[in-house]
């Protein structure tokens, strides 16, 4: 049966999710006013960014020696000082604190350029301001900002973000570093180890996450002790802080990556950010923001790879033809260009959501990080392929670009953990709605179906029907009429998505947390959906700017149509495999491999 027209969302739920485009989508709803019209970079920002980009390009020509730095595994420390002199250490810091005062869209555009020049440079700059002092910028008090921001913006201080530990990577809440309040209550004492801290070796300002023991009222009024993640600002030098040597890495080899050890390090109580126990939310808030710098950086890297591919395929002759005349090369160049356009559309849509300051962009920024890092990987891989044997040689930069790009799928949240986050965070709202409906039922009935709702039995159906009755009809009205078909695809998918989310929640209840095969499908649909929605909005704006003359937008329309076709096929495939899939086989195979501890077959018989 085709999906019912109109989103599965009640009026109350619409209120609860109206500040997030993606959270609404999990109810089957499209809040088009949040993505139309496609945002423009304000003229003032445009002007500042242009000026910075000019000096970045000059700086790159004069000072950046990527091959040499990569070989040595380090860049000269003066490079950071030079970037500081150019005013690049405080791009998003308000002017009153000595920064450029750029909005997130301007910051991202510059990060795009820098990372496109050199991955290590991008990461060094990004670790300083995308995450290093972001907790201070987003959640710090005025007093804290006055104390630190001017020195951070000028580059007098270099920042790093200390969250990861030897036994705590994706599971960020499980950190073991402790902070204990001193007897006189004036400072905390930090003890513990942090791992793989970008800029750790050159930092003079650390944002450190540690656990503080706090007393809380228990359910029976009794006092219980709990360890709560807390965020601290630490100024160096400080006694008891040691940084290990810079790690040898596959890529971004010229950036600093160090272990940090805290041995009875004193941090004044006034350096706690957002209050004791608020650290996990601070850490997540910083990463939500920071992930857009990474997404933009990935666009820069991919544009450079595409450029190299175009140049080579325009020059290299095989079988008496230029490479670009071959269909298989055309498909690669076409796909890379289309994917960069999509990545750009979603990243700058999301930076605008950040700049608006009234929206929840947590899912959108995770989507952009996943999409852009995978898009970059595909771009550097295909570029190396187009360069063939030369691509594999150290004499050329392309193998380095591949090595540099790989980390983006791992740091700032692995793409696996972010897919889980996208799916589970998105499903939280519909899950609460289902639970709420159950709560409003007669007691005996509610008792019987206490959330998690199990199975697809009659009670689950009853809940589903109740939600359906509350639906409000809605379609995309703001897309350009010539793109009606694409808008229709989104409308249909939105309804189907809301329905499938509900089905999964009814089927698994809270156990959806354990269903990673399902989470991946849901996340992949969400990623493709957001990508399509952003592209639809951007192409609509381009057509409108061209006075409705679609012929002037031929290229953008072609990229949009091609992406819609591909994403549509993927989404349909993901919907289909929610019910009919090979998950059980995959689980069995993986479980057997885990039990055997090895690949258990061989074509030769054992002696």
Catalytic residues: 412
- If one asks whether residue 256 binds ligand MYA (CB under 6 A), the answer comes out as no
Phi, psi of 180 (to 5 degrees): -115, 130
Considering only residues 51, 67, 173, 546, which one is a binding residue for ligand MYA as defined by CB under 6 A? 173
Give the whole-angstrom CA distance, residue 305 versus residue 301.
6
Which H or E run contains 499? helix 484-508
Give the whole-angstrom CA distance, residue 138 versus residue 394.
42
Considering only residues 301, 397, 429, 431, which one is a binding residue for ligand MYA as defined by CB under 6 A? 301
Cβ count near 180 (within 10 Å): 15
The alpha-helical segments, DSSP class H, found in 165-256 are: none
Token reading at 135: 């907790």
- If one asks whether residue 417 binds ligand MYA (CB under 6 A), the answer comes out as yes
Query: Which string of x and - marks every residue 87-116 that binds ligand MYA (by CB under 6 A)?
Result: ------------------------x---x-
- If one asks whether residue 593 binds ligand MYA (CB under 6 A), the answer comes out as no
Minimum distance between the CB of residue 584 and ligand MYA, rounded to whole angstroms?
Answer: 26
DSSP 8-class letter at 437: H
Give the whole-angstrom CA distance, residue 55 versus residue 604.
62
**C-beta of residue 567 within 8 angstroms of C-beta of residue 530:** no
Considering only residues 294, 308, 375, 449, which one is a binding residue for ligand MYA as defined by CB under 6 A? 294
Backbone CA torsion sign across 137, 141, 146, 152: negative
- If one asks whether residue 39 binds ligand MYA (CB under 6 A), the answer comes out as no
Minimum distance between the CB of residue 343 and ligand MYA, rounded to whole angstroms?
Answer: 12
- If one asks whether residue 581 binds ligand MYA (CB under 6 A), the answer comes out as no
- If one asks whether residue 127 binds ligand MYA (CB under 6 A), the answer comes out as yes
Q: Kindly tell me which of 90 and 301 has the beta carbon lying closer to ligand MYA.
A: 301
DSSP 8-class letter at 479: S
DSSP 8-class letter at 168: B
Query: Number of residues in contact with ligand MYA, rule: CB under 6 A?
Result: 32
Residue 329, classed as helix, strand or coil, is: helix
In angstroms, the Cα distances linking 157 to 137, 195, 385, 411 are 14, 21, 42, 23
Phi, psi of 210 (to 5 degrees): -145, 160
- If one asks whether residue 200 binds ligand MYA (CB under 6 A), the answer comes out as no
Considering only residues 3, 7, 87, 119, which one is a binding residue for ligand MYA as defined by CB under 6 A? 119
- If one asks whether residue 343 binds ligand MYA (CB under 6 A), the answer comes out as no
Considering only residues 17, 408, 519, 541, which one is a binding residue for ligand MYA as defined by CB under 6 A? 408
Backbone CA torsion sign across 435, 439, 445, 447: positive
Q: Kindly tell me which of 6 and 106 has the beta carbon lying closer to ligand MYA.
A: 106
Minimum distance between the CB of residue 290 and ligand MYA, rounded to whole angstroms?
Answer: 6
- If one asks whether residue 138 binds ligand MYA (CB under 6 A), the answer comes out as no
- If one asks whether residue 362 binds ligand MYA (CB under 6 A), the answer comes out as yes
- If one asks whether residue 120 binds ligand MYA (CB under 6 A), the answer comes out as no
Closest alpha carbon to 176 in 189, 161, 188, 164:
164
Region 478-497 residues binding ligand MYA, contact defined as CB under 6 A = none
- If one asks whether residue 523 binds ligand MYA (CB under 6 A), the answer comes out as no
Which H or E run contains 56? helix 43-63
| Contact range with ligand MYA by CB under 6 A, out of 35-43, 230-238, 296-304, 475-483 | 296-304
| Contact range with ligand MYA by CB under 6 A, out of 45-53, 165-173, 228-236, 437-445 | 165-173
Give the whole-angstrom CA distance, residue 84 versus residue 64.
15
**C-beta of residue 576 within 8 angstroms of C-beta of residue 525:** no
Minimum distance between the CB of residue 424 and ligand MYA, rounded to whole angstroms?
Answer: 7
Considering only residues 25, 49, 89, 287, which one is a binding residue for ligand MYA as defined by CB under 6 A? 287
Give the whole-angstrom CA distance, residue 58 versus residue 284.
36
For ligand MYA, the binding residues (CB under 6 A) are 111, 115, 119, 122-123, 126-127, 130-131, 161, 163-164, 170, 172-173, 198, 280, 284, 287-288, 293-294, 297-298, 301, 362, 408, 411-413, 417, 421
């Amino acid at each position: 049966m085709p999906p019912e027209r109109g989103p599965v969302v009640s009026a109350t739920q619409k209120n609860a999710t109206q500040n997030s485009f993606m959270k609404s989508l999990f109810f089957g709803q499209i809040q088009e006013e949040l993505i139309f019209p496609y945002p423009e970079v304000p003229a003032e920002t445009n002007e500042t960014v242009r000026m910075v980009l000019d000096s970045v390009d000059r700086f790159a020509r004069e000072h950046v020696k990527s091959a040499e730095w990569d070989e040595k595994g380090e860049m000269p420390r003066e490079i950071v000082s030079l970037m500081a002199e150019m005013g690049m250490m405080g791009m998003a810091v308000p002017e009153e604190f000595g920064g450029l005062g750029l909005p997130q869209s301007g910051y991202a555009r510059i990060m795009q350029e820098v990372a496109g020049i050199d991955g290590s440079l991008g990461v060094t700059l990004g670790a300083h301001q995308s995450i290093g002092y972001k907790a201070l910028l987003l959640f710090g008090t005025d007093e804290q900002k006055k104390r630190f921001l001017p020195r951070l913006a000028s580059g007098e201080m270099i920042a790093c973000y200390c969250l990861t530990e030897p036994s705590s990577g994706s599971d960020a809440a499980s950190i073991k570093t402790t902070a204990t309040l001193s007897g006189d209550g004036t400072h905390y004492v930090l003890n513990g180890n942090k791992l793989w801290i970008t800029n750790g070796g050159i930092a003079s300002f650390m944002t450190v996450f540690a656990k503080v023991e706090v007393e809380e009222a228990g359910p029976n009024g009794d006092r219980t002790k709990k360890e709560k993640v807390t965020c601290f600002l630490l100024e160096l030098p400080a006694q008891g802080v040691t940084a290990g040597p810079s790690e040898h890495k596959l890529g971004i080899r010229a950036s600093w990556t160090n272990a940090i050890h805290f041995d009875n390090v004193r941090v004044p109580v006034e350096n706690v950010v957002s209050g004791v126990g608020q650290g996990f939310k601070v850490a997540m808030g910083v990463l939500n923001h920071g992930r857009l710098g990474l997404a933009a950086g990935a666009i820069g890297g991919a544009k450079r790879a595409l450029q190299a591919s175009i140049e080579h395929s325009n020059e290299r002759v095989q079988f008496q033809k230029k490479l670009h005349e071959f269909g298989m090369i055309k498909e690669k160049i076409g796909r890379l260009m289309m994917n960069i356009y999509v990545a750009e559309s979603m990243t700058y849509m999301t930076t605008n959501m950040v700049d608006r300051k009234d929206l929840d962009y947590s899912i959108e920024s995770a989507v952009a990080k996943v999409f852009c890092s995978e898009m970059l990987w595909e771009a550097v891989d295909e570029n190396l392929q187009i360069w063939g044997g030369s691509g594999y040689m150290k004499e050329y930069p392309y193998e380095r670009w591949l090595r540099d790009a790989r980390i983006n799928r791992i740091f700032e949240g692995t793409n696996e953990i972010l897919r889980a986050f996208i799916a589970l965070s998105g499903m939280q709202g519909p899950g609460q709605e289902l639970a709420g409906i159950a709560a409003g039922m007669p007691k005996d009935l509610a008792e019987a179906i206490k959330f998690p709702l199990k199975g697809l039995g009659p009670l689950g159906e009853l809940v589903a029907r109740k939600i359906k009755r509350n639906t409000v009809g809605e379609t995309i009205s703001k897309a350009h009429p010539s793109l009606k078909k694409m808008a229709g695809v989104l409308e249909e998918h939105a309804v189907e998505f809301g329905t499938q989310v509900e089905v999964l929640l009814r089927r698994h209840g809270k156990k959806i947390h354990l269903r990673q095969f399902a989470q991946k499908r849901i996340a992949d649909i969400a990623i493709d959906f957001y990508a399509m929605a952003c592209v639809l909005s951007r192409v609509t704006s381009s057509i409108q700017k061209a006075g409705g003359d679609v012929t002037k937008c031929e290229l953008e329309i072609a990229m949009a149509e091609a992406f819609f076709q591909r994403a549509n096929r993927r989404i349909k495939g993901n919907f289909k495999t929610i019910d009919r899939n090979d998950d059980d086989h995959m689980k069995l195979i993986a479980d057997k491999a885990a039990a055997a501890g090895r690949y258990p077959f061989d074509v030769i018989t054992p002696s």
